[in-house]
Amino acid sequence: MTSLELQEWNAWRSRRLISVTSPQGNLALIETRWLDEGEEISDEEALIGQPETVTATHEERREYDGKVIAKGIRLWDANSEGIQSFETIDVYPFDPKWIFEATFTPHGEVRPVPFEYVRETPGLRNLAVPGEINVTIAGVEYALDAFDDDGTLLLAFGDPTNRTETYPAGRFLFVHRDDNSERVIINFNRAYVPPCGFSIHYNCPLPPPQNRIQVPILAGEKNPIFRNNYEIH
């Protein structure tokens, strides 16, 4: 491990702690309201009866091909109970052995892959997967599906720690790649608790079977820690 690697990881961790407590960070989300077809609501209407610390944004839920399938509105409270109760995010110590070189093989065209969601009926929604990530972990070869998140590969993965030490529904990890190269780096030290681990008003995709790692990934974030027995809501 180099001092630069540790320094970069500490900077990433600091950004994460700032991000989740920001005025529109994960802990600030207090409501997600999906609208009926043709229904419209202004920010002013959505904020009636809310304190001054609450702001509103508009949300769109899209199919893998970009088609808008639902519109909604979200309310964010910069002084939410979650922010007030938040202490930190428990995390494994940085360990370079959890950094893997992998190969990204683009699909000929964007491929729809079904992902199950924490809170959604029906339970499956197709997400755009631009290619396959091939990596060997503890002697086992994996073909992982990371979906397109505004131009960045986002990997939802699970491993045995989800049942004991880390967020039960799995964790997220951004996989950065050079458009001109098939080589990608999977740095599990930057695995993070998905937004639904901070507020029930998020609806996160769950790791599909092909993204479930057989060995415990002892790297990255574990779970948020709160004061006063706070439970997310």
Q: What is the pLDDT along the chain (233 residues), one digit of tens a residue?
A: 578 999 999 999 999 999 999 999 999 999 999 999 999 999 999 999 999 999 999 999 888 888 998 999 999 999 999 999 999 999 999 999 999 999 999 988 888 999 999 876 556 889 999 999 999 999 999 999 999 998 899 999 999 999 899 999 999 999 988 766 789 999 999 999 999 999 999 999 999 999 999 999 999 999 999 999 999 99
| Cα–Cα dist 123/40, whole Å | 26
Cα separations in angstroms, 140 against 136, 212, 213, 214, 230: 5, 12, 9, 8, 39
The per-residue pLDDT for 119 is 77
Provide the token pair at 58: 């508009």
The enclosing H or E element of 113 equals: strand 99-116
User: Exposed, middle or buried: residue 117 (CB in 10 Å: 0-12, 13-18, 19+)?
Assistant: middle
Domain boundaries, the chain: 89-224
